[in-house]
Amino acid sequence: MDKILIHGGRPLSGSIKISGSKNSALPILAATLLTREPCILHRVPDLSDTHYMLQILMHLGAQVERASGTVTVNAEKIESIAPYEVVRKMRASVCVLGPLLGRCKEATVSLPGGCVIGDRPIDLHLKGFEALGAAIRVEGGNVKVFAPKLTGAIINLTGKFGPTVLGTDNVMMAAVLAEGITVIEGAATEPEVVDLADFLNKMGAKIEGAGTRRLIIEGVKELHGAEHDIIPDRIEAGTFLVAGAIAGKGVTIKRVVREHVSSVTDALIACGYQIQWAENSITVSPNGAVKPLEIATEPYPGFPTDMQAQMCALLSTTEGISVITENIFPQRYMHVAELKRMGAHVQLEGSTAVIQGVERLFGAPVMASDLRASAALVLAGLKAEGRTEVSRVYHIDRGYEHLDEKLSELGAHIERVKA
Ligand code: EPZ
């Protein structure tokens, strides 16, 4: 397993280009199952997770071609059983359920395991499918959904932790081929949900209200092929903005949608960093004294849970007492134990982390656990004195396209070691 070595203390500067969004590409790749015609997707990031999704599509019978960032999928002939050996590798595989139910009126996918950020239920996905007329059967570690036909319904997808992103995606992808009108109340409003709705509408779907809590979907008989550019990855963008804050003297990120990262830029401004916007880029620079922060993760447009670990790394070296509350995945603190091994002072109290900023962090061998926790350890290593060795970097490769290479372009002393 590869490792990433970081020699901290080198100031970052310069600019990097943000890749296409992982969390947009995954459901959009799944959505290509909804048509017999070819779909062409541009700016699909080269990640383990997108690789797994392409494997699933091929296992289902789709023809897949990839030429650098462009992927062509032809799902003319498909079956409806997603194989365990591929699905088990990625929880987001669950988002093939909706398109398979919409297209084939049945689907069998192995149940998503939990993962290190806690239990990952799909009860809301299944509630939406049942409302559309599907029967659900859970057996042998698989979930099977089937319906003689799908009929539009009024569905509320709000759960105890708020809206569900992939649940909204899944139900929307089934509803586009249902008979009649479906209204999804309590829909997720993340930019990735909007990007999926835009793609589905290009395929001939009739979806209104994307980006609001209320989606109105008029079912159609069938969908046709379409071509689409995946939006930039706002979490990668946020991660590099935090890198620029923790160790930069002027870092610019290009190909970013300003409003998609406004909660992150607001947080960095509140901490005392300077943010400058240009046409299609954002620059973060130090701007004198920095201040501690109290912040809570919320559904979009609030501060994203996927940026919580990265913020924890930054606030670990920000003088004063900061408080982070994790409202989406309350156990999402795998990074804390490792940050403490680097000298951070973080006290966990339920879903809240109380952070006493320290003068300096010290490089150490640390272990990646989940995608964003791993990124947080790399960010801490940029700041820490000495050498940090991050093992199990396959977690990083799931969701960041060439993270070490991009940080190296910004001047970081970072290298990937084949273990
Ligand atoms: C998506 O996961 C993202 N993944 C996650 O990003 C992100 O953290 C999450 O949304 C929240 O923004 C992809 O888009 C591939 P949810 P998703 O359903 O859709 C609970 C990353 O690092 N819930 O919005 O699976 C759930 O337990 C990943 O890129 C139910 O209770 O998350 C959580 O507490 C990590 N029942 C909350 O809702 C359900 O049926 C939000 O989960 C579904 C979810």
Residue 164 Cβ < 6 Å to ligand 1: yes
- Residue 87's pLDDT is 83
**Best residue among 116, 124, 165 to mutate for probing ligand 1, ranked by most atoms within 8 Å of CB:** 165
Domain at 2-18+232-418: CATH code: 3.65.10.10
Q: Residue 85 contacts by C-beta under 8 Å, 6 or more apart in sequence?
A: none
- Residue 115's pLDDT is 61
First to last CA, the chain: 5
- Residue 125's pLDDT is 96
- Going from N- to C-terminal start, the domains of the chain cover 2-18+232-418, 22-229
The secondary element (H helix, E strand) that includes residue 12 is: strand 12-17
Atom of ligand 1 nearest to the CA of 299: 12
Q: How far is the CA of 163 from the centre of ligand 1 (A)?
A: 9
CA 273 to CA 6: how far, in whole Å? 24
- Residue 90's pLDDT is 86
Q: How far is the CA of 302 from the centre of ligand 1 (A)?
A: 14
- Residue 368's pLDDT is 84
CA 238 to CA 245: how far, in whole Å? 11
CA distances to 1, 25, 370, 398, 402 from 393, rounded to whole Å, are 7, 21, 9, 9, 11
* Fold of the 22-229 domain: UDP-n-acetylglucosamine1-carboxyvinyl-transferase; Chain (3.65.10)
Q: How far is the CA of 165 from the centre of ligand 1 (A)?
A: 6
Residue 170 Cβ < 6 Å to ligand 1: no
253-282 core/surface letters (b: 16 or more CB in 10 A; e: else)? bbbbbeebbebbbebbeebbbebeeeeebb
CA 415 to CA 389: how far, in whole Å? 10
- Residue 3's pLDDT is 94
CA distances to 41, 146, 368 from 249, rounded to whole Å, are 36, 56, 27
State the pTM of this model.
0.97
Residue 256 Cβ < 6 Å to ligand 1: no
Q: Of 39, 95, 104, 115, which one is the catalytic site residue?
A: 115
Using one digit for the tens of pLDDT, what is the confidence trace for 83-119?
Answer: 788 788 888 899 999 999 999 999 999 887 656 666 7
**Best residue among 96, 129, 161 to mutate for probing ligand 1, ranked by most atoms within 8 Å of CB:** 161
Identical fold between 2-18+232-418 and 22-229: yes
CA 53 to chain centre: 14
Q: How far is the CA of 111 from the centre of ligand 1 (A)?
A: 15
Instruction: Say whether 104 is catalytic.
Output: no
Q: What is the DSSP string of 50-99?
A: HHHHHHHHHHTT-EEEEETTEEEEE-SS--SEE-HHHHTT-GGGGGGHHH
CA 157 to CA 183: how far, in whole Å? 10
Residue 122 Cβ < 6 Å to ligand 1: yes
**Best residue among 155, 164, 300 to mutate for probing ligand 1, ranked by most atoms within 8 Å of CB:** 164
Residue 120 Cβ < 6 Å to ligand 1: yes
Residue 373 Cβ < 6 Å to ligand 1: no
Angle between helices 234-247 and 308-316 (to 10 degrees): 0
- Residue 114's pLDDT is 58
Residue 302 Cβ < 6 Å to ligand 1: no
Q: How far is the CA of 299 from the centre of ligand 1 (A)?
A: 10
What are the residue ranges in the chain where pLDDT is below 50? none
Angle between helices 165-175 and 22-31 (to 10 degrees): 20
Q: How far is the CA of 164 from the centre of ligand 1 (A)?
A: 6
Residue nearest to atom 16 of ligand 1 (CA): 164
- Residue 120's pLDDT is 75
The DSSP letter of residue 381 is: H
- Residue 369's pLDDT is 86
